[in-house]
Amino acid sequence: MISKYCITSSFIFLLFIISSTNGTSPLAPALYVLGDSLLDSGNNNYLQTIIKANYSPYGEDFVNKCTGRFSNGKTVADFIAEFLGLPYAPPFLSFKPRDKLPLTGLNYASGACGILRDTGHHLGDLLSLEEQVGLFQDTLVRLQGRNFKSSKELSEYLSKSIFIISIGSNDYISNYPATLLHDTNKRFARLLTSKLSHQLQRLYNLGARKIVVSEIGPIGCVPAITSQNKHKGKCVEHKNQLVSEYNSMLPAMLQNLTSSLQGSSFVNGHAYRLASDAIINPSNYGLKDASNPCCKTWLSGIEGCIPFVEPCDRRDKYYFWDGYHPSEIVYSLFASRCINNASFCSPFSLKELVKM
């Protein structure tokens, strides 16, 4: 049964969306989504992998229930789509080669993937960031052949579209230990930012101009990590220090791309700081539990939700939905900050970005 409290939190955000769009046409023609399980809307359902979220209680509070989202409800991408006045970006892999693709955007994100091609592949078939950009390129070939009279029309459409990317945590969670044998953390962070920069330039060359890239969150605070490592306080700090090195390099890389690629706007989503504060001071955000997963998980929080087991009642009071992923209420917090606050999504909030 859906909690009235979860309905209330979604309803409040919906009122915000209605007041923001004010019944006008969409603020952008399309939303394109790339990344990992924080944004996956169901692509892993179509891949041979054990990393899936296509069963109850995933989607407990989502209109279509268990779609493959690693959440009890909406993700950041869904809330941003609502703000833009667009439908939720469907998973690209749900379309067959001859299907007509929507003009309002697509989702290429794949749970457990990373910036590096080999990240997560011990878990089965996944879409690395490089492969996701390749699928976006395939998308453009299909769209131009059916929906746009000229490359100029397609370019104008893409220049006004919004692209959001959240990726990198799995490179540290499942790929870093092996790399540690021959790389320092700083070198590993440089490797990731270099690979990411290359894929962002590919997106730009394909026509993307407004691109929001999220930091990696505090992985040392997720239940899957805290349950397996000795730590003082709420988090495993040496794990957080690893991703902090990457996060410290991200702003300069994005600023350099904006300066060197004409007409581009690369926005940095400061997810780490907000996530850390919400976990350390949950009551400041209306939360009661920022340490334990809401759903019953395998291996004491290490894995995903146990199928068909009833989750906690007050999902709007939990930071974590399962051993790795935030709950819908936390995703709504991140989305609203990025939409409105230029210090969270910098140097431009989404409200500012859509007007550029």
Predicted local confidence at residue 244, as pLDDT = 98
Residue type at 14? L
Predicted local confidence at residue 312, as pLDDT = 98
**CB-based contacts of 323, cutoff 8 Å, min separation 6:** 222, 223, 224, 227, 293, 297, 301, 302, 303, 304
Among the listed residues 269, 290, 152, the one whose alpha carbon sits nearest the alpha carbon of residue 221: 290
Domain boundaries defined on the chain: 4-353
Predicted local confidence at residue 285, as pLDDT = 98
Q: Could you tell me the two tokens for 82?
A: 């609502």
Among the listed residues 80, 84, 167, the one whose alpha carbon sits nearest the alpha carbon of residue 132: 167
Question: For residues 211 and 197, what is the distance between their CA atoms, to the nearest angstrom?
Answer: 12
Predicted local confidence at residue 183, as pLDDT = 66
Question: For residues 1 and 310, what is the distance between their CA atoms, to the nearest angstrom?
Answer: 9
Predicted local confidence at residue 1, as pLDDT = 33
- On whether the CB atoms of residues 119 and 170 are closer than 8 A, the answer is yes
pTM of the model: 0.93
Question: For residues 271 and 333, what is the distance between their CA atoms, to the nearest angstrom?
Answer: 11
The three-class DSSP label of residue 209 is: coil
Q: For tokens 């340490």, name the residue.
A: 291
Question: For residues 60 and 291, what is the distance between their CA atoms, to the nearest angstrom?
Answer: 20
CA distances from 284 to 180, 194, 290 (A): 37, 36, 12
Predicted local confidence at residue 303, as pLDDT = 79
User: Which residues are known catalytic residues?
Assistant: 37, 322, 325
Among the listed residues 243, 307, 339, the one whose alpha carbon sits nearest the alpha carbon of residue 57: 307
Q: Could you tell me the two tokens for 166?
A: 């959240």
Predicted local confidence at residue 184, as pLDDT = 87
Provide the greatest CA pair distance for the chain. 60
Q: In order along the chain (356 residues), what is the average pLDDT of each group of 10 residues?
A: 38 44 82 99 98 98 95 99 99 98 99 98 97 99 92 98 99 81 83 98 99 99 94 94 98 99 99 98 98 90 88 98 98 99 98 98
Rounded to the nearest 10 degrees, how much is the dihedral formed by the CA atoms of 297, 302, 304, 308?
-20
Beta-bridge partner residues of 124: 49
Predicted local confidence at residue 298, as pLDDT = 85
Strands 31-35 and 162-166: parallel
Stated as kind and residue range, the H or E segment containing 211 is: strand 210-214
pLDDT tens for 149-161 read 899 999 999 999 9
Question: For residues 62 and 71, what is the distance between their CA atoms, to the nearest angstrom?
Answer: 9
Question: Topology of 4-353 in CATH?
Answer: Rossmann fold (3.40.50)
- On whether the CB atoms of residues 253 and 195 are closer than 8 A, the answer is no
Question: For residues 195 and 191, what is the distance between their CA atoms, to the nearest angstrom?
Answer: 6
Predicted local confidence at residue 18, as pLDDT = 41
pLDDT tens for 156-184 read 999 999 999 999 999 999 998 665 655 68
Among the listed residues 268, 172, 285, 274, the one whose alpha carbon sits nearest the alpha carbon of residue 219: 172
- On whether the CB atoms of residues 61 and 10 are closer than 8 A, the answer is yes
Q: Which residues of 268-298 are buried (b: 16+ CB within 10 A; e: fewer)?
A: bbbbbebbbebbeebeeeebeebbbbbbebe
